[in-house]
Amino acid sequence: MADSEMEASLKPIIDQKSLKWIFVGGKGGVGKTTTSCSLAVQMAKARKSVLLISTDPAHNLSDAFGMKFGKDARPVVGVEGLSAMEIDPNGSITDLINAGGDDAQEAMQGLGGVGSMFQDMAFSIPGVDEAMSFAEVLKQVKGMEYEVIIFDTAPTGHTLRFLQFPTVLEKALDKLSQLSKQFGGMINNLVSARGGLPNGQSFDDVLKKMEDLQATIGDVNKQFKNADLTTFIPVMIPEFLSLYETERMIQELGNYEIDTHAIVVNQLLFPKKDNPCEQCNARRKMQKKYLEQIDDLYGEDFNVVKMPLLVNEVRGVDSISTFSEMLVKPYDAPQ
């Protein structure tokens, strides 16, 4: 049987002690946050300290656990060993500028139209906002000791786009250093006429900062491509579009050389045999069809975890804890 090697549970992930980074992703309201929160709860039982980070601008970690989270990691009430953090990618760059103090604000205003143009340009480089949020994360996380970090990613699927950032940055830096050699003197004069760059840095300092950023991201890249350290868990529902998207995502992950060996299939219906509800039965039939396809396509290489659609919403620590048990112990449908 295809499933004989691969357990239909996330227990292998929890048992994999070397794992440091876990991404939970998927498009279309499939239950990413529920899954990532549940996984975090289970992980917290098996590890000393776990950090759950949401990079989705439409945060819902706070909803899920019933308490407010922010840019700094906060321990989750009711789950020992788990902390959570919500990062807004769009805010990062604005924050950077604000953190520069009044000088920075004035400098940005002094640059006027050019300043805002730089800001827009900075946003438009592929992956830069993800990269900035990621740099933010790294900054926060380097100081703290967490065994595992779980990412609840945004549904836009741009999570992995920032992996392209290092290559883009290299080209940009080359161009910049060329330009700086030619125009450096003139720009320095202009800038010092305005009172210097934010924090009185010189052009070289800014360049150096960007190089540092590139080095950090390059290092992180290497960690992500290491299957012992990183894995990606796609979450999906047994419907055509979700299946199509998941297949596409898995292929893309393969191109990026990021390991993925577990899939969570959510919102499964298990109607009783004598169920009168037409819609439930029809939906169950459709789900069965796609489940067969999923088992056929992924059964050999992936841990395919099947999660039921519950009668209640999975919100609040207790509900999530109950749900999380089903991640590690395959669900027995009451038939």
Partner 1 sequence: MVSVLLIVFLLQLAIHLVNTFGAQAVNELLWNLYTKLPTPQSKDADESSRLRKEVARLHREMKSISAQDDFAKWARVRREHDKAKDKYDKQSASLTSFRTTFDRLITAARWLGTQGLQFFCNFYYSKQAMFWLPQGWVPYHVEWVLSFPKAQMGAVSINIWSMACASVIALASEGIRASLTLKDGRVREGSNKGEKIKMEALGAGGGEKEL
Is 227 or 297 the residue whose CB approaches partner 1 more closely? 297
- For residues 263-322, which are near partner 1 according to CB under 8 A? 289-290, 292-294, 296-297
Long-range contacts made by residues 111-119, C-beta under 8 angstroms, separation at least 24?
A: 111/194, 119/93
Tell me how crowded residue 203 is: count the other CB atoms within 10 A of its CB: 16
Is 124 or 251 the residue whose CB approaches partner 1 more closely? 251
> What is the closest distance, in whole angstroms, from the C-beta atom of residue 300 to partner 1 in the complex?
11
Number of chain residues interacting with partner 1 (CB under 8 A): 12
Exactly one of 56, 129, 152, 295 is catalytic; name it: 56
> What H or E segment, with its residue span, contains residue 150?
strand 148-152
Is 19 or 253 the residue whose CB approaches partner 1 more closely? 253
* Annotation marks residue 212 as catalytic: no
> What is the closest distance, in whole angstroms, from the C-beta atom of residue 25 to partner 1 in the complex?
19
> What is the closest distance, in whole angstroms, from the C-beta atom of residue 164 to partner 1 in the complex?
18
Q: Which residues contact 108 (CB under 8 A, 6 or more apart)?
A: 97, 115, 116, 119, 198
Is 11 or 283 the residue whose CB approaches partner 1 more closely? 283
Tell me how crowded residue 317 is: count the other CB atoms within 10 A of its CB: 18
> What is the closest distance, in whole angstroms, from the C-beta atom of residue 316 to partner 1 in the complex?
35
Alpha carbon 89 to its chain centroid, in Å, reads: 11
What track of x and - describes contact with partner 1 for positions 236 through 255 (by CB under 8 A)? ----x--xx--x---x----
- For residues 136-155, which are near partner 1 according to CB under 8 A? none
Long-range contacts made by residues 107-116, C-beta under 8 angstroms, separation at least 24?
A: 107/194, 107/195, 107/196, 107/197, 107/198, 108/198, 110/194, 110/195, 111/194
Is 103 or 239 the residue whose CB approaches partner 1 more closely? 239
> What is the closest distance, in whole angstroms, from the C-beta atom of residue 256 to partner 1 in the complex?
15
| Cβ-based burial of 113 (10 A; exposed 0-12, middle 13-18, buried ≥19) | exposed
User: Percent helix, strand, coil in the chain (nearest 5)?
Assistant: 55, 15, 30
Catalytic residues: 56
Q: Which residues bind partner 1 (CB under 8 A)?
A: 240, 243-244, 247, 251, 289-290, 292-294, 296-297
